[in-house]
Copies of this chain bind each other. A is one copy, B any other.
Amino acid sequence: MTQNHLLLRTLRGETVERPPVWMMRQAGRFLPQYRALKERYSFFERVRTPELAAAITRMPVDELDVDAAIIFSDILVVPDAMGCAVVMEEGKGPWLPNPIRSHGDVKRLRTPNVEADMAYMEQSISRVVHEIGDRVPVIGFAGAPWTVMCYMVEGKGSKDWELTRRFLVERPDAARDLLDRITETTINYVQLQIRAGASVIQFFDSWAGALSPSLYRTWMVPIWQRLVEAVRDVPVILFARGAHICPTELASLGDVALGLDWSIDPKRARELVPHRTLQGNLDPVLLFADDDVIVNTTTSTINALGVQRTIVNLGHGILPQTPVEKARTFVQTVKEYRS
């Protein structure tokens, strides 16, 4: 039954009556129900307690009637499982107290046994898939290896990821080793998610734009190929934020869907890639604008991307202060869209 859901039909390229809609970071950011849980449990408690993760995952489906659930987690559970500890400080972003700065640091990383070490993820997905039933599909996700490497090298968020870019250029052997290890764990991790019941996998390469097209092509496209080959059983969405080779070159990796950030015109993206599913791409700050601006921008985005092969979403994660009624206006505009 879930297999006939709008999102999956869109990802398979079947004809649909309207595009599906969901929002990146819809689980665990802006809803008051989530904020209440945040008072009582730490970030990793929320992620690693299947009851909590499932409840948070379900919230936007219950509250806003979006067309997909995305499992509540964080891309940094992967480096944490690899032995590069992650500390989440509320309101401050992630902090990795022992960042990777040498080949020695890379060699000290471990290859986790994801079935054992990340069993909470299997349980969380199984639970939420069971609870949601055939209402909407559940999306699993992971960070793309480049973006995970950014945090591991830098140790915290950064504007330009200068240390990581230098690491790539100054220590290519260590960088290759590090990216290989992240890629291997990432593949094991998303396969675990698929076995647990995830119907779609999205990879987040949030800092793709920090690299030149030439470095991105040399280093990251082969990694994308490995990831796409490893996720054969369910549709895959690649979100390479800011990458100038997205969507054109990434579209050639196979029948992948491509996430678009708000830096590209949706009309232009559709001209460049007529035959792939495209997902995006409203600037999340538009959900602070007047209702008519939200309705008009959402409608013109659908007009530009087209009804077919389109998933409406934001161009990056929903912002924590977003008013719930504005998010509802966005979702409802897509649901009521008539071409």
On A, residues with C-beta under 8 Å from B are 157-160, 162, 165-166, 168-170, 209, 211-215, 242, 244, 262-265, 268, 283, 285-286, 288-289, 293, 315-316, 319
Contacts and interface: CB of A to CB of B under 8 A. Distances in A.
Contact of A242 (B157, B242, B265): B242
A220 to B, nearest CB: 14
Nearest to A289: B169
Contact of A263 (B166, B169, B213): B213
Given A285-B166, A286-B169, A288-B170, A264 B159 contact: no
A100 to B, nearest CB: 17
Given A169-B289, A214-B265, A265-B214, A159 B162 contact: no
B214 A242 contact: no
A262 B215 CA distance: 10
A263 B212 contact: yes
A10 to B, nearest CB: 23
29 contacts: A157-B159, A158-B159, A162-B285, A165-B283, A165-B285, A166-B285, A166-B288, A168-B285, A169-B283, A169-B285, A169-B286, A169-B289, A170-B288, A170-B289, A209-B209, A209-B242, A209-B263, A211-B283, A212-B262, A212-B265, A212-B283, A212-B315, A213-B263, A213-B264, A213-B265, A213-B268, A215-B283, A244-B263, A244-B268
Copies in the complex: 2
Nearest to A158: B159
A160 B316 CA distance: 11
Contact of A264 (B166, B170, B244): B244
Nearest to A207: B159
A285 B211 CA distance: 10
Nearest to A165: B285
A169 B326 CA distance: 13
Contacts of A293: 169
Can you list the 6 inter-chain pairs with the closest CB atoms, starting with the nearest? A165-B285, A212-B262, A169-B289, A213-B265, A166-B285, A212-B283
A205 to B, nearest CB: 14
Contacts of A268: 213, 244
Contacts of A162: 285, 319
Nearest to A217: B265
Nearest to A248: B268
Nearest to A285: B165
A301 B315 CA distance: 31
Contacts of A264: 213, 244
A248 to B, nearest CB: 10
Contacts of A159: 157-159
A264 to B, nearest CB: 6
A153 B264 CA distance: 24
A316 B161 CA distance: 13
A158 B160 CA distance: 10
Most central of A166, A242, A285 by chain B CB within 10 Å: A285
